[in-house]
Amino acid sequence: MWNWFFKLGSPPHFYRTASLLEPWLIWTAVLLLVAGAYGGLFVAPPDYLQGEGFRIIYVHVPSAFLSMFAYAVMAVASAIGLIWRMKLAFAVAAATAPAGAAFTFLALCTGAIWGQPMWGTWWEWDPRLTSELVLLFLFFGYMLLRQAMPETRQADRASGILAVVGVVNLPIIHYSVEWWNSIHQGPSLMKLETPSIAGDMLWPLLVMILAYQLLFIGILFTSIRTQILKREKNSRWVSEMLNQVNGVS
């Protein structure tokens, strides 16, 4: 098992593995997106309070979930890189930040679109909304800090420390609706008892969450491969691979 783990930590091995898995992940995600969107738009009945407006949850909830999941991946990868000095871990963290920022921005935008008719305002300094906005700033701060450092090793270390420290915001986002007086809807899926959402509304949401997660991993593999090529551009295996692509013996 450990041999497999360390082998996966090898940049050339991970590059080849990601190249094989990437199309399967993307196409599976696309099929699930179609199924989930159909279920959410045409199968799920209107909500008895929110009417048709509730259907934005099929974009908002997966985006919000992926925003936190992406930051957790970035923080864990950064911690692995800082502790074991694994170059691939830093590449994973660097590749995660843009996708995580995109999902966080999408979660905030869809939340605002839902909030305007439901709350009467596009934005409210609610604990859940504010902590999600802080998450977006953490992603931006991570990326800007990397860009500000000309040396890759220094950028890895400085941005990695920021990612690890910022992970304290994740439980604040998750529990904010329980810790403080929040106008945001309480948890519907992640509860100790059964989810407080009807089955014909629930299954499209679960399908969309899975589709978003597979799409995120597929996009992440593409970004990691780009990071690997940037970091390993002078290595022999990259030269050999480029020669094979160009037909040079």
pLDDT of residue 192: 43
Query: Has residue 163 got a pLDDT over 70?
Result: yes
Amino acid occupying residue 118:
M
Per-residue pLDDT averaged across 170-176, rounded?
90
Query: Has residue 183 got a pLDDT over 70?
Result: no
pLDDT tier for residue 195 given thresholds of 50, 70 and 90:
low
Burial status of residue 7 (CB atoms within 10 A of its CB: 0-12, 13-18, 19 or more): exposed
Mean pLDDT is highest, among 137-141, 195-199, 243-247, for: 137-141
pLDDT of residue 144: 97
Per-residue pLDDT averaged across 28-52, rounded?
93
* Dist. CA 11–CA 17, nearest whole Å: 10
Mean pLDDT over each residue of the chain, to the nearest integer: 89
Which of 38, 80, 79 minimizes the C-alpha distance to 58? 38
Contact assessment for residue 14 and residue 88, using Cβ atoms and an 8 Å cutoff: yes
pLDDT of residue 76: 97
Contact assessment for residue 160 and residue 79, using Cβ atoms and an 8 Å cutoff: yes
Hey, where are the domains in the chain? 70-187+196-226
Which of 28, 36, 29 minimizes the C-alpha distance to 202? 36
